[in-house]
DNA sequence: GAGTTCACCTTACTTGAAGTAGGTTACCTT
DNA sequence: AAGGTAACCTACTTCAAGTAAGGTGAACTC
């Protein structure tokens, strides 16, 4: 208002801006505490525009999550190509994940908010998006392991993803734990199993 | 209104009623969709009473979660006493968890909503409550395993809990997976490790 | 048994954020 | 330059969280 009169911007570009700002807002303030009014203002646009492009607050969060999950998936997938052994593939994937967590705090913080959508119409879509991640892992496992039947591979993938996400949250409270250490912890259980350490 | 005039009820009893109804409401409708007005009405009391006893909507959810987590903790702890070996203790604990998930759907559904509180003032308290669970597991591990240093035991506990919670969510989409099967999947990875299945 | 008190309870309000109706303006095409 | 359309806005409704201020009944004194 005080400064330049607002410029008209093409849809695709605007959407990118909105997602960028929304990602900030959601990760800083939390999903429910962040308001659409505030996001609109920070983008430099009025609220109905957000609804024009994303239909609802949930829709906006969904778009943010979709983008971030895609980035995470990309990173972990890249990390595993060219691994010689199953062990190496697993270790590289884990490390890539924990590095992502550390370096892209905002993105990770956002992903932690996806749970805010359970019980809402968007819950299915969230699971859909997560599936992309677990399917990737399940595929990797099929490449490198004798995973038995197909649901078993799926279950294993969910298991690993859940474990790592929780471990990542734990890492946030322990700043002295490096990605390498976290990877070590995870590998230690996943690869050798607990039987190796039983008394 | 139409029927009996409202009876006066002592605080402790009222709180129990409120938590019971709230647990229903939150797990059915989801945290944000459930309204305090609705809960109050179903309890047969006016809204300010809820605030009198729980201060906020978050506070109410927190009370529900606290109770449910306590029940879960109780169940898993009981399951492990009297186990002869580490393997047996682990298997029993896992089974107890997956049975709980299946039999007390509403309770489990509620726990899944605890994530709705991340980024809010109650987040710390949630982690506090979760800690009770992980501490229990960490203690069990110390009993049965050479877990190395202390943070490592903690990390392992988080890892296991996260993995099981995710696996439980996966089980919801696969009704044909029994608690015994879920336990099998989990044991298979946790106990033997993935190295056992590498090609 | 009449008053006093305190815990339990209510009605009626404020506040703030999600979502919407309907109109306006800059840009591009022809 | 006219006209269409995509981008945009102001001003509104609705609904739920949270609150202020006061009412009422049961227990306890005297």
Q: Any CB–CB contact under 8 A between A77 and chain B? A: no
User: Is the Cα dihedral B168, A186, A166, A65 positive or negative?
Assistant: negative
Confidence (pLDDT) at B116 = 78
- Does position B154 have pLDDT exceeding 60, yes or no? yes
- The rounded Cα A138 to chain-centroid distance in angstroms is 17
**Rounded distance between C-alpha atoms, residue B184 and residue B105, angstroms:** 21
- Does position B2 have pLDDT exceeding 70, yes or no? no
Mean predicted confidence (pLDDT) in B45-53: 97
- The rounded Cα A43 to chain-centroid distance in angstroms is 23
Protein-contacted bases of chain C (C-beta within 7 A)? 7-12, 16-22, 26-27
Q: Contact B113/A118, CB-based, under 8 Å?
A: yes
Enumerate long-range contacts of B101-104, CB under 8 Å, 24 or more apart: B101/B168, B101/B171, B101/B179, B102/B171, B102/B179, B104/B71
- Closest residue to A90, CB basis, from B116, B119, B194: B194
DSSP three-state, residue B46:
coil
**Rounded distance between C-alpha atoms, residue A129 and residue A123, angstroms:** 10
Q: Any CB–CB contact under 8 A between A116 and chain B? A: yes
**Rounded distance between C-alpha atoms, residue B114 and residue B62, angstroms:** 8
Confidence (pLDDT) at B5 = 53
CB distance B53 to B15 below 8 Å: yes
- Angle of helix A11-29 versus helix A57-80 axis, rounded to 10: 90
Confidence (pLDDT) at B4 = 46
Q: Comparing C-alpha atoms, which of A194, A191, A185, A181 is closest to residue A86?
A: A191
Confidence (pLDDT) at B125 = 92
Q: Any CB–CB contact under 8 A between B8 and chain A? A: no
Share of chain B above pLDDT 70, in %: 97
Q: Comparing C-alpha atoms, which of A18, A165, A160, A172 is closest to residue A105?
A: A172
Look up the pTM and report it.
0.92
Question: CA of B163: which chain A residue's CA is closest?
Answer: A163
């Amino acid at each position: 208002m005080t400064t330049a009169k607002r410029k008209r911007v093409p849809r695709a570009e605007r959407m990118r801006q909105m997602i960028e700002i929304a990602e900030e807002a959601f990760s800083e303030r939390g999903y429910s505490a962040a308001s659409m009014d505030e996001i609109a203002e920070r983008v430099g646009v009025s609220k109905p525009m957000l609804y024009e492009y994303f239909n609802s607050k949930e829709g906006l969060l969904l778009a943010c999550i979709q983008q971030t999950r895609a980035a995470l998936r990309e990173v972990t997938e890249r990390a595993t190509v060219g691994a010689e052994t199953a062990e190496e593939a697993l270790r590289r994937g884990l490390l890539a994940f924990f590095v992502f967590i550390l370096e892209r705090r905002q993105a990770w913080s956002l992903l932690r908010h996806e749970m805010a959508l359970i019980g809402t119409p968007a819950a299915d879509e969230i699971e859909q998006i997560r599936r992309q991640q677990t399917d990737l892992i399940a595929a990797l496992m099929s490449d490198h392991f004798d995973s038995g039947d197909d649901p078993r591979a799926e279950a294993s993938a969910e298991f690993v993803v859940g474990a790592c996400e929780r471990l990542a949250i734990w890492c946030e409270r322990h700043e002295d734990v490096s990605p390498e250490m976290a990877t070590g912890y995870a590998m230690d259980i996943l690869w050798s199993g607990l039987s190796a350490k039983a008394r």
